[in-house]
Amino acid sequence: MEGGGRLYYAATEGSWLLEAPCEECAGFVLDLRVSDPTEQSTARARADSYLRHVHRIACAGCESLERRQTQPPAGEGVEVWWDAASGEWLGATLVDGTSVCLPLGVRTYWARRDAEAAASLLLERGVPVRVAAHPAECEPEAHTIFYDVPAGSWALRTACPDCGGCDIRLIARGRGSVARACEQAQGCVERIATTECPNCRTLRERSVERDPDGPPALWFDTVLAGWVAWMPVEDGGVTLPVGLTRFDVNERQLLLAASGLQL
């Protein structure tokens, strides 16, 4: 293997790993993010490319040690770097003159853009949304966006201690539109913060005993992935889709669409 690296499959991690050698820092282990044990050739290609184009120029292990020993010189904006010791991207910025360093929750080395987007959300806007390079990297305690490969679009996995959260489809399509996905996720998280968890609401609305003379109800149904309205009719009631699927739709548009439903 190029430069004396060692490639192996770790069943405990469920992934191919590369041991990158270094005389200075004694080396480090890089998760190649190839989960199939039979995909050795893919893992090898990734490992070779990393050793040849990145590791030979600068050792991430040495860089991480240096970053840890000296406070990162965070100037304007956010600096991100791969921390070889913890195996995730870190971000640093200046908050009131103090350098603040935070893990970004992105554990795929090849997802630098995701890490940068996560950094700007976390550190610049202070929005508690994380960016995961892979759905498996979503953490149950933080709102996280991830790229849904089969759907070809980004999704927000919400965090909720009561129902466990849900996935909300975002309109940002394509892997590269992470900044747009962050924007929209921010709107969704703000709506959750000012109202309530849409999944808890859905569970409640779907199980409630309704009074046929009661008032209509309007909610984002996480099962149908769209806004729905319940309206009383003779001897009962009906639930109808409003025709809007964006959770962060603006209030006026929502009310207009709902008021257009006539029975």
Residue 202, interface with Zn ion (CB under 5 A)?
A: no
Instruction: Label the pairing between strands 129-132 and 143-148.
Output: parallel
Q: How far is CA 56 from the centre of its chain?
A: 31
Residue 62 or residue 94: which is nearer to Zn ion going by CB? Answer: 62
Q: Which residue in the set 5, 9, 21, 25 belongs to the binding site for Zn ion (CB under 5 A)?
A: 25
Residue 85, interface with Zn ion (CB under 5 A)?
A: no
Contact indicator for 141, 155 with CB cutoff of 8 Å: no
Q: Least distance from C-beta 130 to Zn ion, angstroms?
A: 18
Q: Which residue in the set 66, 139, 162, 190 belongs to the binding site for Zn ion (CB under 5 A)?
A: 162
Residue with tokens 């590269």: 176
Total number of residues binding Zn ion (CB under 5 A)? 12
Footprint on residues 88-147 left by Zn ion (CB under 5 A): none
Would you call 186 helix, strand, or coil by DSSP?
helix
Q: Which residue in the set 62, 85, 142, 225 belongs to the binding site for Zn ion (CB under 5 A)?
A: 62
Phi-psi region at 79: left, alpha or beta (left = phi > 0; alpha = psi -120 to 50): beta
Would you call 234 helix, strand, or coil by DSSP?
coil
Residue 197, interface with Zn ion (CB under 5 A)?
A: yes
Q: Least distance from C-beta 228 to Zn ion, angstroms?
A: 17
Residue 163, interface with Zn ion (CB under 5 A)?
A: yes
Residue 61, interface with Zn ion (CB under 5 A)?
A: yes
The packing angle between helices 112-119 and 178-194, to 10°, is: 40
Contact indicator for 121, 182 with CB cutoff of 8 Å: yes
Residue 22, interface with Zn ion (CB under 5 A)?
A: yes
Binding-site ranges for Zn ion (CB under 5 A)? 22, 24-25, 59, 61-62, 160, 162-163, 197, 199-200
